[in-house]
Amino acid sequence: VEWQTVKTYEDILYHKMDGIAKITINRPHKRNAFRPKTVFELYDAFCDAREDRNIGVVLFTGAGPHTDGKYAFCAGGDQSVRGTAGYVGDDGVPRLNVLDLQRLIRSMPKVVIALVAGYAIGGGHVLHIICDLTIAADNAIFGQTGPKVGSFDGGFGASYLARIVGQKKAREIWFLCRQYDANQALEMGLVNCVVPVEELEAEGIKWAQEILEKSPIAIRCLKAAFNADCDGQAGLQELAGNATLLYYMTEEGAEGKQAFLEKRKPDFRQYPWLP
């Protein structure tokens, strides 16, 4: 089976193969930094993957290497289009639309795996944080730059990072703006494994295939449960939405709808009050 192009975009590539979607930021000359258009395109592709019943896993990665030989997952917001109130697109409107993308990746009931080769920096680092799993190439470099370049992500970028690596380490990452290599990232639990760069995609496919053998409903409920632990009412909404989905799939749930449509009283007496 080979990757099939799903749709053609300007800033990203979008492929599918056998239950797996692959979304690639394609601006290697900018170390895959994102402008508003990049984020809109990513959002569109992630929505498609979310809606596709055949897709269970999304691999999220960056195109590379660039002509100078360097790799990047994503170097965050494109500073060359940063205006006074966000990143400015062709329409002249300043935006921080990457926050919408973060929420989509976090809440979609499919597993999103970041494949990081080279730099995952700034808002690009937060994008890998938000993914369910991260597979790092041996050349991966991680870090935040906000306090150096006049920015910060106090949302998932701070609080969820701290859940992953602990408060002390998260504060170090943000306050010192250092860069960390793949093995340091592995040591602090920031990534799931490290592989040679040439094996990155194959490893991602292997993990995806292992996940695809598992129960879709079990995985979606687990993702929602992990999220609910940190995400307050939005997390509970996600988790409870799965309970509603499962309830709709029961005879008991269907009886309510059927009775309404048949203009009769529902007969719930036939269903047990389980202990």
Tell me which of 146, 185, 197, 227 binds ligand 2NE, using CB under 6 A: 146
141: three-class secondary structure by DSSP? strand
Q: Which residues pair with 87 in a beta bridge?
A: 82, 95
Q: Does 204 bind ligand 2NE (CB under 6 A)?
A: no
Q: Does 177 bind ligand 2NE (CB under 6 A)?
A: no
Strands 20-25 and 94-95, sheet pairing: unpaired
The nearer residue to ligand 2NE, 9 or 87, going by C-beta atoms, is 87
Burial (CB < 10 A; 0-12, 13-18, 19+), residue 34, is buried
Query: For the chain, what is the largest distance between any 2 Cα atoms, rounded to a whole number of angstroms?
Result: 72
Q: Which residues pair with 82 in a beta bridge?
A: 87
Stretch that binds ligand 2NE, among 8-16, 40-48, 120-128, 167-175 (CB under 6 A): 120-128
Stretch that binds ligand 2NE, among 9-17, 53-61, 145-153, 194-202 (CB under 6 A): 145-153
Stretch that binds ligand 2NE, among 130-138, 142-150, 165-173, 235-243 (CB under 6 A): 142-150
Stretch that binds ligand 2NE, among 6-14, 75-83, 105-113, 165-173 (CB under 6 A): 75-83
Structure tokens at 208: 């995806």
Tell me which of 16, 22, 30, 220 binds ligand 2NE, using CB under 6 A: 30
Angle, CA of 93, 96 and 97, to the nearest 5°: 90
User: What is d(CA 165, CA 171) in angstroms, rounded to the nearest whole number?
Assistant: 10
The nearer residue to ligand 2NE, 40 or 207, going by C-beta atoms, is 40
Stretch that binds ligand 2NE, among 56-64, 143-151, 222-230, 265-273 (CB under 6 A): 143-151
The nearer residue to ligand 2NE, 96 or 222, going by C-beta atoms, is 96
Structure tokens at 157: 């970028």
Q: Does 129 bind ligand 2NE (CB under 6 A)?
A: no
User: What is d(CA 272, CA 37) in angstroms, rounded to the nearest whole number?
Assistant: 53
Q: Does 75 bind ligand 2NE (CB under 6 A)?
A: yes
Where do runs of H (alpha helix) occur along the chain? Answer: 36-51, 98-107, 123-130, 146-149, 161-165, 167-176, 182-187, 200-212, 216-248, 251-261
Which residues between 149 and 168 bind ligand 2NE (CB under 6 A)? Answer: 149, 151-153
Residues that bind ligand 2NE (CB under 6 A): 30-31, 33, 70, 75-80, 96, 98, 119, 121-123, 145-146, 149, 151-153
